[in-house]
Homo-oligomer: A and B are copies of this chain.
């Protein structure tokens, strides 16, 4: 049984990893870290896992973790991740890192949007972890940079259109809406129930840090430099992202033509569901699952393609995709532990 640890287990992505790993048939959770809760069993922090595990939160120390685990998930804030991941790699652990630190292949881009990179040598080995697009590289690497939640929803929705040159990439606008868990488990005013409920607003308009990783992947797909407009919004709900994406069509395709292209592109993908024209994706339809649901419409009056893409930001947008990557890295069946029916209503 492969021994797996979660570094940063008491954030929401961390807890979601715990939820998934507890039911994974081929790996065993052997270590959890959480600086704030050292010495406490995780079920005291989250009574949802009472009677499920007796694991106790330990400090983030490389050596004990390297001894206790064969594989690690690092669910830390950016910067904190690149401080510790090299140590784990040196001790021959495989790592899926859920932070932004290894997502950008270009350290200058990282510096532009974040700060100077302190482990640039690892960037060439890090694979951007969307299995539907980079499966073979993921299987071979020891370090996966798990994608951001918004990027996952946007890149999966645009991939078939860009790959097949259906759209003019200079016209791409991604208007994304996220539940509040995307802001993490931090005690900040702007995440209070009283500030968020019955409220809807945009934030970080045209300046969100997920922009460069979205553009990096879209550029790969398009074969040329893609620059988009990206606007994130906060929705009064706990989980879920819906991205509404606009782009001008290169020629007047019908909806059925494009649907065929999408069905073919994702024909063998278990976790992508292409919706029929009369059913639009909603975040509640993927709750708790690793699905990415994609729908599309054409605005005939403008020759615009409108893509709609729904994920659970903590599953396909974070921890579910992370487990999917782990399965590939360990040579396991890709859907183990994440083959979950959405919880509705």
Contacts and interface: CB of A to CB of B under 8 A. Distances in A.
B194 A345 contact: yes
Contacts of A194: 12, 180-181, 185, 191, 238, 345
A175 B52 contact: no
Interface in A283-309: 283-289, 291, 293, 297-302, 304, 306, 308
A336 to B, nearest CB: 13
A268 interface: no
A244 B205 CA distance: 10
B231 A200 contact: no
Contact of A200 (B47, B242, B300, B301): B242
Given A23-B341, A288-B343, A306 B193 contact: no
A273 B50 contact: yes
B284 A198 contact: yes
Contacts of A189: 185, 187
A189 B345 CA distance: 12
B341 A238 contact: no
Given A195-B345, A227-B302, 15 more contacts: A46-B344, A180-B193, A180-B194, A191-B192, A193-B236, A198-B237, A198-B240, A198-B287, A200-B282, A202-B242, A202-B244, A206-B298, A231-B244, A235-B235, A235-B236
